[in-house]
Amino acid sequence: MSLTRLDELFHAARARPAGEWPAFLARECGGDEELASTLLGMLREEGQAFSWFDEAESSLGLFWEEVLPERLGPYRVLRRLGSGGMGTVYLAEGFGRTLAVKCMRWGGAGLLKRFLDERQILSRLDHPGIARFLDGGRTPSGEPYLVMEYIEGTPLSEWERSGRILAERVKLLRAVAETVAYAHENQVVHGDLKPSNVLVTASGQPKLLDFGIAKLLDRGEESNEESRSIALTPAYAAPEQLAGEPISELTDVYGLGALLAELTAEGADPWLAEIVQRAVSPDVAGRYPSVRAMLDDLRAWEQGRRTAPTA
C-alpha cells in the first residue's frame, strides 16, 4: 500500500460529505478493498475525534447570526448566507432589489489584498455565467465589502444527484467551461473550480462563484508564498497548486477536468474518459493547451463525432 496514494485519497475524501465517502473510495481505490477499508476507518476516526470542534463551530455560527449587522453601507442586511475563507456573505436589499453582500471579516494585509483583488476582478467581468459585481465600499470600522447579484440556484453536487442524464451533465460542464474561457480571455484565472463554486439556476444556467483566489494574468506572477497561503480542496486542485506554484489557465483546465470526471463518473464513455484524462494530466504539458481546445472535444462528443480527442 503506497503511503503517498493513501495520503492523497484521504485528503480528497475528507473534502467531501461523509455520506459520499463509501462510493468515492470504491471508485478511486480500483477494487483494493484493503485500501478502501483503511481509508474509511481513518476518516471515521478523525470525525469522532473532532466532533467537539464541529459543535463549537456550530455554536460560533449561531453567535455570528445573533450579531448580524443591520446595514452594510446603504444596504439593509436580511440574513447570513454563509462564510468563506475571506469573510461572510449576507443577503441584503437596497435600491429595490435583493443582493448578496460579501464583507471581509478578518484582517491582515495579505487577506485585504486578495479581497480587493476579487473586487477588481469581478468589476471587469460581464458574463451570464458569472454573478455580476454591482458595488463596493467599506463599513464604518473599515472592512471592505462587495455587492453582487443574488443568485438563486442549486449547488452543482445537488443538481447532479437529481437524475440528470449524461448528455445534460456534459452540456452543463460545457457551459461552465465557456464561462471560464471568457474569464481567461479577460486575463482572469479562477483557480478554485469545484462543485461548491457552481450554482445552477432554475433555467439551467450555471453560475460560477467565488473569485476569492482568482488571478489577474496581466499583473504578473504571484509569489509562491501567496499560493501556499490559499486554502484548497485537494480533490479539485491541480498538482502545481498543491505544490505552492503560481496558477495559470492550465490550472483551470485541470479543475474543469476534475468537475467533468465527477459529473460523468456513472457513465462508461471511453471518449469522455479520454477528455478527462487529458484535462487532469499531472504534467501541465500533457493537458489541453487551453479551455477552448477542451471545449472543441466536448462539442464534438455532443455532436456525435466519435473520433479521438484532438492531439
Which residues, in sequence order, are CB contacts of 18 under 8 Å at separation 6+? 43, 47
Q: How far is CA 165 from CA 171, 266, 282, in A?
A: 10, 10, 29
What does residue 155 show for φ and ψ, rounded to 5 degrees? Answer: -55, 145
Which amino acid type is present at position 82? G
C-alpha cell of residue 100: 448578496
- The closest alpha carbon to 276, from 161, 177, 163, belongs to 177
Where does the chain have alpha helices with state H? 3-14, 21-28, 33-49, 51-66, 109-123, 156-160, 166-185, 224-228, 239-242, 249-263, 270-279, 291-302
What does residue 71 show for φ and ψ, rounded to 5 degrees? Answer: -140, 150
- The question of whether 192 is a catalytic residue gets the answer yes
Q: Which residues pair with 145 in a beta bridge?
A: 103, 137
- In the block, cell 473586487 appears at 119
Kindly provide the b/e burial profile for residues 135-155, where b requires at least 16 CB atoms within 10 angstroms of the residue's own CB: bbbeeeeebbbbbbebbebbe
Query: For residues 260 and 256, what is the distance between their CA atoms, to the nearest angstrom?
Result: 6
Catalytic residue among 117, 126, 135, 192: 192
Query: For residues 291 and 298, what is the distance between their CA atoms, to the nearest angstrom?
Result: 10
Write out the catalytic residue numbers. Answer: 192
